[in-house]
Amino acid sequence: VSARVVITGIGVLTANANSATAYANALRDGRSGVRTMRRFDPGWPFRQAGEVDLEEADPTLDRVSQLAVSTAHQAVADACLPADGDWRRQAGVFAGTSRGPAIALETALLCGAEAVHPALLAEIPFHSVARNVAGRLGLEGPRVTVTMACVSSSLAVGRATSAVRHGRIRVALAGGVDALTNLSFSGFSVLRAMTKTVCRPFDRRRDGMVLGEGAGWLVLEEAEHARQRGARIYGEVCGWGTAGDAYHPTSPHPEGRGLRQAMAQALADAKLPVDAVDHVNLHGTGTAANDPAECRGIAGLFRERAPRVPVNSLKPMIGHTLGAAGVLELAGSVLGMYGGFIPPTLNHEEGDPACPLDVVKGASRETRVDTFISTKSAFGGANVAIVVRRTA
């Protein structure tokens, strides 16, 4: 079995949007949600982040699961799947998260395990996100929890694509979630990865990243299943690939070796030549090490065409959402392809000679994209690339 896999629903919660429609509008307008943090004091002078306004209505769920469940409902509604349909019996949940329900762990540590509702202790394991989403939405298919730092949700989309393609399921909810935590803010700060100004991916003056939080889900559906029910199709996930750097615990391979390999595998999986790619959504953290490594990975694959392929990074608009970054930024490019534009890389003004790329900057670029790649890289030297193409 090798079924085609299409995207029929998108759910998004980011600092700049609370739905797929709002996200598309924010990205087209180049509107950032990065602001001074309100939920907690991270204890550092730089307190900007892509924080999500969420009414946490369920005290038995970690904030992370609340973000995930809320967004999953959105995605199902966006796909116009019936609330009580048979599709739920086999529908799988493929969740990616870097830190999981880390706020439950932080709360238990700060207040003592005895002071925490037992339900929140049960929330600490990473797999509670998939369990909660499946349980709250009544999805009875397989559950997979990917925990690969910043590529978590990208690999979740890949695994879901394979499950549908191989005929194991016909509908999958694939995505990811992460929340802003003391641990993340402190950790990336002591690693000196955070900006002291603004996040400026691929800019000569870049000085680091800005954190964010959020959740995103895609409804992935076997193409024939979607066609039979007359679903709107945003695009087709036609290939994906993953590769390791085997180089350093936190830094990417300086030549972008694993990234290039992941992209090559994704294109081979899609049976598409490199020349078919109209746009690359990059990881683009704005750190000193990441951006040039990505650029060299692109150069290694695209060769002389590399400086002419439009690329972008959405992190200046939503922050680096860690485990959710893969799906949220993929969703951004899907919505852009569907709407006829490429979202801009905010704050990018002066190109870096070490990154000779066609960075979409300033405002969104109105253009037709037929095929794009979204790439993400992570701690542990993990890289994932996903190829999406227009279906009509």
- Among positions 359-378, residues that touch other proteins (CB under 8 A) are 378
- Choice between 113 and 354, CB closer to other proteins: 113
Note whether 160 binds other proteins by CB under 8 A: no
- Between residue 124 and residue 143, which ones bind other proteins under the rule CB under 8 A? 124-128, 130-131, 134-136, 138-143
Binding window for other proteins (CB under 8 A); candidates: 91-99, 276-284, 309-317, 336-344:
91-99
- Between residue 162 and residue 221, which ones bind other proteins under the rule CB under 8 A? 162, 166, 168, 182-183, 185-191
For the question of residue 73 being annotated catalytic, the response is: no
Interface size with other proteins, residues (CB under 8 A): 75
- Between residue 63 and residue 82, which ones bind other proteins under the rule CB under 8 A? none
For the question of residue 248 being annotated catalytic, the response is: no
143, 177, 148: which is closest to 160 by C-alpha? 143
- Between residue 31 and residue 50, which ones bind other proteins under the rule CB under 8 A? 42-44
Note whether 153 binds other proteins by CB under 8 A: no
Q: Yes or no: say if 332 and 23 are a contact pair by the CB < 8 Å rule.
A: yes
Given 250, 340, 349, 350, the residue binding other proteins (CB under 8 A): 250
- Choice between 195 and 383, CB closer to other proteins: 383
SS3 74: helix
138, 23, 124, 150: which is closest to 64 by C-alpha? 124
Note whether 379 binds other proteins by CB under 8 A: yes
CA–CA separation, 319 and 316 (whole Å)? 6
- Cite the DSSP H helix spans in the chain: 20-29, 63-78, 102-111, 118-121, 128-137, 152-165, 182-190, 223-228, 257-270, 290-302, 315-318, 325-339
| Catalytic-labelled residue, pool 253, 279, 283, 348 | 283
For the question of residue 295 being annotated catalytic, the response is: no
SS3 250: coil
- Cite the DSSP H helix spans in 253-344: 257-270, 290-302, 315-318, 325-339
Residues 274-313, mask of contacts with other proteins (x by CB under 8 A): ----------------------------------------
Q: Yes or no: say if 65 and 132 are a contact pair by the CB < 8 Å rule.
A: yes
Q: Any idea which residues carry the catalytic annotation?
A: 150, 283, 320
